[in-house]
């Protein structure tokens, strides 16, 4: 690839991951229920050592994992990503006690994590969240701290996770500077949740906090500094959302190449029609361009370069929009068969829409890019 070449061992590893996805993970994914947590699948990811690599590898490795798994098993890719999203704040900013208590289970696939940032009125504008953290006095029966009251929505692995990284407002009127990140076990009194029935088959739900008690021992990072914890996590994961999209785009492109080579119409294979060949060429070019942007953004993150927010936003923006285009074009070239339940493209068509919204919608990415450009 011009401008970026993977090492031979990285290419070999990606091939191995595709094989694992096809042979070990797809059968487990097929036994799960859409929209519900698939614990056997998470446990298998742990057993294969992939969850461990979430915390021992860099951003580029994360992208290679997500792209390779997405090509063969989107459910496995999502299970891995949601574990990383929920637990990364603990790994990166948590206390020694928090890491020792929760991360071994996450790595092994026994403990499931959730990332609780979004609210119904605070999605793209994450700094506007309203989940209240009201201070309580400490005495013999109460260790002090805060009580959480309010709701979260579109939360990864809710209501099935074993713990959540929860972002709540500890200082009113302070915007992004008044938010604190907490580690909240799922069995904490006052915490309830319910599943949401979404277009894409991901385990997402809502959480209700009715005076849930948290203490300073539950704080991730520092009080009133939780927004930075959230943004640091998203800066790491945004390029890998793009990698997820690239994996889906490549799967759709591969299916299209096979279909248009074998399907005959008007006296010959579809690939001999110029309109088809040009469309496939466009699909391939956009997919490759998206891949290069993703790899470049991940490498910039690993090198701790100053343009990480901009490059991460560009990668997520272009890759997710590209995947939508490629999957839609693939459906068009396959015709009605691609709309049948159970067809690969029917599955990808439902999967591909969500990444343009979560972890910062396309419009938010454009805002970030423009802000970074003008700041220079």
- 334-351 pLDDT, tens digit per residue, is 999 999 999 999 999 999
352, 242, 46, 54: CA torsion to nearest 10: -160
Apex 237 CA angle, 112 and 173, nearest 5: 90
Mean pLDDT of 256-284: 95
Rg (CA), the chain: 21
- 208-219 pLDDT, tens digit per residue, is 999 999 999 999
- 80-100 pLDDT, tens digit per residue, is 999 999 999 999 999 999 999
3-state DSSP call for residue 272?
helix
pLDDT value of position 200: 86
pTM for this predicted structure: 0.93
Q: Tell me whether residue 218 is in a domain.
A: yes
The reply to whether 97 and 144 lie within a common domain is: no
The reply to whether 205 and 216 lie within a common domain is: yes
Q: Tell me whether residue 313 is in a domain.
A: yes
H helix runs in the chain, sequence order: 8-20, 26-31, 39-47, 50-56, 59-72, 74-93, 96-108, 226-262, 274-302, 308-334, 344-351, 362-375
pLDDT value of position 125: 78
Phi-psi category of residue 360: left, alpha or beta, with phi > 0 → left and psi -120 to 50 → alpha: left
Mean pLDDT of 129-138: 88
Mean pLDDT of 226-253: 94
pLDDT value of position 144: 78
The reply to whether 370 and 233 lie within a common domain is: yes
pLDDT value of position 265: 87
**Residue 117 — φ and ψ, nearest 5°?**
-110, -50
Catalytic one among 282, 359, 363, 372?
Answer: 359
pLDDT value of position 138: 63
- Residue 41's CATH number: 1.10.540.10
Among 112, 132, 164, the domain-final residue is 112
The reply to whether 233 and 275 lie within a common domain is: yes
Which residues lie below 8 Å from residue 182, measured CB to CB, with a gap of 6+? Answer: 133, 146, 148, 165, 166, 167, 168, 214, 218, 219, 220, 226
Rounded CA-CA distance 321/344 in Å is 19
Looking at the predicted structure, is the pLDDT value of residue 49 above 90?
Answer: yes
Closest CA to 131 of 200, 178, 189, 92: 178
Rounded CA-CA distance 265/329 in Å is 18
pLDDT value of position 139: 46
For 336, half-sphere exposure in the C-beta direction (CA atoms, 13 angstrom radius) is 0
Residue linked to tokens 């637990």: 87
Q: Tell me whether residue 65 is in a domain.
A: yes
Q: Tell me whether residue 2 is in a domain.
A: no
- Residue 335's CATH number: 1.20.140.10
Q: Tell me whether residue 74 is in a domain.
A: yes
The reply to whether 236 and 341 lie within a common domain is: yes
Looking at the predicted structure, is the pLDDT value of residue 285 above 90?
Answer: yes
Among 225, 258, 280, the domain-final residue is 225
Percent of the chain with pLDDT over 90: 85
Q: Tell me whether residue 3 is in a domain.
A: no
Q: Tell me whether residue 92 is in a domain.
A: yes
The reply to whether 95 and 158 lie within a common domain is: no
Residue linked to tokens 């088809």: 276
- 156-185 pLDDT, tens digit per residue, is 999 999 999 999 999 998 888 999 999 999
Among 225, 248, 274, the domain-final residue is 225
**Is 151 a known active-site residue?**
no
Q: pLDDT grade, residue 141 (50/70/90)?
A: very low
Check residues 269 and 175 and name the one with the higher pLDDT: 269
Rounded CA-CA distance 64/250 in Å is 13
Mean pLDDT of 246-258: 98
Closest CA to 183 of 166, 162, 197: 166
Q: Tell me whether residue 1 is in a domain.
A: no
Q: Are 308 and 70 spatial neighbours (Cβ–Cβ below 8 Å)?
A: no
The reply to whether 249 and 368 lie within a common domain is: yes
The reply to whether 119 and 102 lie within a common domain is: no
pLDDT value of position 3: 53
Mean pLDDT of 350-374: 94
The reply to whether 233 and 201 lie within a common domain is: no
pLDDT value of position 1: 38
Looking at the predicted structure, is the pLDDT value of residue 195 above 80?
Answer: yes
Rounded CA-CA distance 188/217 in Å is 14
Total of domains in the chain:
3
Q: pLDDT grade, residue 2 (50/70/90)?
A: very low
Check residues 140 and 240 and name the one with the higher pLDDT: 240
Which residues lie below 8 Å from residue 334, measured CB to CB, with a gap of 6+? Answer: 255, 256, 259, 343, 345
Q: pLDDT grade, residue 143 (50/70/90)?
A: low
- 95-124 pLDDT, tens digit per residue, is 999 999 999 999 999 999 999 999 998 877
Rounded CA-CA distance 159/330 in Å is 35
Apex 216 CA angle, 126 and 169, nearest 5: 25
Looking at the predicted structure, is the pLDDT value of residue 67 above 60?
Answer: yes
Looking at the predicted structure, is the pLDDT value of residue 363 above 60?
Answer: yes
The reply to whether 212 and 124 lie within a common domain is: yes
Q: Domain span at residue 316?
A: 228-375
Rounded CA-CA distance 376/363 in Å is 21
Q: Are 133 and 147 spatial neighbours (Cβ–Cβ below 8 Å)?
A: yes
pLDDT value of position 11: 93
């Amino acid at each position: 690839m011009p401008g970026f070449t993977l090492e031979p061992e990285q290419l070999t590893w990606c091939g191995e991951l595709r094989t694992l996805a096809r042979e070990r993970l797809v059968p487990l994914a097929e036994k799960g229920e859409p929209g519900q947590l698939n614990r056997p699948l998470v446990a298998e990811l742990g057993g294969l050592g992939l969850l461990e690599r979430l915390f021992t590898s860099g951003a580029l490795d994360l992208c290679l994992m997500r792209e390779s798994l997405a090509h063969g098993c989107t459910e496995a890719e999502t299970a891995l990503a949601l574990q990383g999203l929920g637990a990364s704040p603990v790994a990166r900013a948590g206390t020694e006690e928090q890491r020792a208590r929760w991360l071994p289970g996450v790595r092994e696939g026994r403990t499931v994590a959730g990332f609780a940032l979004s609210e119904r009125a605070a999605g793209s504008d994450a700094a506007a969240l309203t989940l209240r953290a009201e201070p309580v006095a400490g005495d013999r029966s109460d260790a002090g701290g805060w009580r959480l009251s309010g709701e979260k929505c579109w939360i990864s692995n809710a209501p099935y996770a074993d713990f959540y990284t929860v972002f709540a407002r500890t200082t009113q009127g302070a915007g992004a500077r008044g938010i604190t990140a907490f580690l909240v076990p799922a069995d904490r009194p006052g915490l309830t949740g319910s599943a949401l029935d979404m277009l894409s088959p991901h385990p997402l739900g809502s959480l209700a906090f009715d005076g849930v008690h948290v203490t300073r021992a539950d704080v991730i990072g520092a009080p009133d500094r939780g927004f930075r914890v959230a943004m640091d996590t998203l800066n790491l994961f945004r390029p890998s959302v793009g990698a997820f999209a690239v994996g889906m785009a490549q799967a759709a492109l591969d299916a299209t190449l096979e279909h248009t080579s074998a399907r005959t119409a008007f006296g010959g294979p579809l690939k001999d029609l110029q309109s088809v060949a040009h469309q496939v060429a466009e699909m391939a070019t956009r997919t490759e361009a998206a891949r290069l942007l993703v790899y470049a953004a991940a490498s910039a993150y690993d090198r701790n370069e100053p343009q990480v927010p901009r490059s991460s936003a560009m990668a997520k923006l272009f890759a997710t929009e590209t995947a939508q285009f490629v999957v839609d074009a693939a459906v068009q070239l396959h015709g009605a068969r691609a709309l049948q339940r159970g067809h690969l493209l029917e599955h990808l068509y439902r999967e591909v829409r969500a990444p343009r919204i979560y972890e910062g919608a396309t419009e938010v990415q454009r805002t970030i890019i423009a802000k970074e450009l003008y700041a220079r």
